[in-house]
Amino acid sequence: MIIAVMSKSAIVIGSGFSSLSSAAYLAKQGFKVKVFEKNAQFGGRARVFEENGFKFDMGPSWYWMPEVFEDFYNDFGKTTSDFYNLKRLEPSYRVLFNEKDKLDLPSKLEDIYALFESYEEGAGEKLKEFLAAAEYRYQIGMNRMVPKPSLSPLEFIDWEVISGLFKMDLFNSFRSYTDKYFKHPYLKSIIEFPILFLGATAENTPALYSMMNHADMALGTWYPEGGMHEIIKAFISICEEFGVELQASSPVTKINSAGDFAHSVTVNDQEHYADIIIAGADYAHVDRELLTEGNKNYDEEYWDSRTMAPSCLLYYLGVDKKIDNLLHHNLFFDESLDEHAEEIYINPQWPSRPLFYVCNPSKTDKSVAPEGHENLFILIPVATGLANDNEAIRERYFNLVIERLEKLTGEKIKDNIIYKKTYAHSNFIEDYNAFKGNAYGLANTLDQTAILKPSIKSKRLKNLYFTGQLTVPGPGIPPSIISGKIVATEAAKEKHYVH
Ligand SMILES: Cc1cc2nc3c(=O)[nH]c(=O)nc-3n(C[C@H](O)[C@H](O)[C@H](O)COP(=O)(O)OP(=O)(O)OC[C@H]3O[C@@H](n4cnc5c(N)ncnc54)[C@H](O)[C@@H]3O)c2cc1C
């Protein structure tokens, strides 16, 4: 059966941040947009579920770079507070190193300088210098590099960027760069922690990404009241206001083409036609499984040789008591970051002594747990593509993290867990068609940055574009939002419409 053909129409595959962003921008430019999402709920990795009075955000929990969200809303004549109340967390987060030592990162810069100085003489001044350089990188990176479609190296021929590349230590590693500033292991952990968001080791990440330290320390950690899925709701409401039609439980099984054009997608055995197709589902899935031979952008060897950002082993827990010694965000850095990173990237295997992260949003938000209870989300980063994602493995790591959680917080927790759900590789594959079970897409290594990332544009089909965390600018909500805008802008320039 053939569905109606509209002029200047677009189909978007998926409903994560990148897809919703591209759909909204295309609709604003006059396209008739239809979104097809395979799952029953929109939002991709930022879905939510409610169980036994607890409300769990399934994926992202850190709201960083609030201006990227605000810019998106402004582009549609809105502002953040039209959708949710955004609260700055104070302190930003806690890092636990052992039973005695923990460090709470203050939200004010002056307090952070003082904290650094208290660990290492001169580190306060050094941090000031480090953050001044980080701010410069952030400004150049966010304004001159991140918004580029990265279709050609010529886009980067910009005097400010070129002169800045030297200042930005693009070719230096993050580790060797930061080693020049700080010696104390706790301070180094704090400085290296934001790199975890980029999905690569500090040795393998360009020093350019110290811009993330500016995001962390100067711009702060925020929380949208009601939870992270409130952002998805906001994006959907903008899409709907601009006439985007969203269809859930609608997996795209094929992108159909004729000559140089993708003319339709197949959904539940029906063909849906459009002038432009934007693939916001995992790039590797679209390239390997939805496109026919001859229309793929890359071969199997290419995909196999990519460095993926990690997968995750996740636990959603409902606890029937309050836990005093946790903040909203808690990083358990009581084991070696380097050893864990090696088991993720260099010799991929189930980790021996993993670091982990605990989000306790009920510290900030009463709506996510019944009174007197806590909502806990535990995340262990693990390598992609690991075999044996089974109940026994999940239970083994559960016992390991709960034991360390109890030890480092000095609180009994295990016996008070009244709700528990686990989530790992096989769920990422089943729910999102995630390549090798990745959680965060493709790592931001030096050889996977800008024009070296999978391209936003199909090499074969003139009107097919790719958006999301496997292409530019990279993983994370702010980059995914920007990715949607870049792709919508490029796609709208397309002159050759199929219909
Ligand atoms: C556990 C976890 C924690 C994270 N923490 C943070 C954080 O704290 N802060 C932060 O900024 N970022 C975080 N991230 C990263 C962030 O969530 C992602 O970068 C971002 O949400 C990716 O958006 P996307 O649009 O690229 O992909 P997705 O959200 O995955 O959207 C892709 C969509 O495509 C759909 N799809 C797949 N195949 C098909 C098909 N054939 N047909 C139709 N639809 C299809 C999928 O179901 C999905 O809805 C986290 C991610 C995870 C998993």
Ligand 1 center from residue 383 Cα (angstroms): 17
Tokens coding 424: 């790992």
Site to probe by mutation for ligand 1, drawn from 45, 277, 289 as the one with most ligand atoms within 8 Å of Cβ, is 45
| Closest ligand 1 atom to 36 CA | 43
Distance of CA 455 from the midpoint of ligand 1 (Å): 18
| Cα distance between residue 23 and residue 391, in whole Å | 38
Ligand 1 binding pocket (C-beta < 6 A) is: 13-19, 36-39, 44-46, 59-62, 251-252, 280-282, 285, 312, 314, 379, 432-433, 439-441, 468-469, 475-477, 480
Mean pLDDT of the chain: 94
| Interval between CA 338 and ligand 1 midpoint (Å) | 26
* Closest CA to ligand 1's atom 14: 60
Smallest CA separation from ligand 1 atom 19, residue: 476
Closest atom of ligand 1 to 267 CA is 42
Give the C-alpha separation, 8 to 494, whole Å.
10
pTM: 0.97
Whether the upstream peptide bond of residue 91 has omega within 30° of 0, thus cis, is yes
Give the number of the atom of ligand 1 that is nearest the alpha carbon of residue 289. 41
Nearest residue by C-alpha to atom 38 in ligand 1: 281
Pure H helices in 149-226: 159-167, 174-179, 185-192, 211-213
Only one residue has tokens 């410069």, namely 136
Q: pLDDT tens track of the chain, all 499 residues?
A: 444 444 699 999 999 999 999 999 999 999 999 999 999 999 999 999 999 999 999 999 999 999 999 999 999 999 999 999 999 999 999 999 999 999 999 999 999 999 999 999 999 999 999 999 999 999 988 998 899 999 988 887 776 777 766 767 777 889 999 999 999 999 999 999 888 767 778 888 888 889 999 999 999 999 999 999 999 999 999 999 999 999 999 999 999 999 999 999 999 999 999 999 999 999 999 999 999 999 999 999 999 999 999 999 999 999 999 999 999 999 999 999 889 999 998 899 999 999 999 999 999 999 999 999 999 999 999 999 999 999 999 999 999 999 999 999 999 999 999 999 999 999 999 999 999 999 999 998 888 988 999 999 999 999 999 999 999 999 999 999 999 999 999 999 977 665 5
> Do 468 and 441 form a contact (C-beta atoms < 8 A)?
yes
Residues 111-126 pLDDT 10s: 999 999 999 999 999 9
**Hey, which residues does 10 pair with through a beta bridge?**
33, 276
**Token pair for residue 356?**
């982990």
pLDDT in tens, 162-191: 776 676 777 788 999 999 999 999 999 999
According to DSSP, the β-strands at 311-319 and 417-423 are antiparallel
Rounded to the nearest angstrom, the distance between the alpha carbon of 55 and the centre of ligand 1 is 19
pLDDT value at position 158?
74
User: Rounded to the nearest whole angstrom, what is the distance from the C-alpha of residue 308 to the centroid of ligand 1?
Assistant: 14
Residue 342 per-residue DSSP state: I
Nearest residue by C-alpha to atom 7 in ligand 1: 60
pLDDT at 138 (0 to 100): 94
Atom 13 (ligand 1): residue with closest C-alpha?
60
Tokens of 358: 């605990």
CB count within 10 Å of CB 87 equals 15
Beta strand spans in 353-472 (E) = 356-359, 374-382, 417-423, 464-466
Cis before 153? omega within 30: no
> Measuring CA to CA, which residue among 416, 24, 443 is closest to residue 198?
443
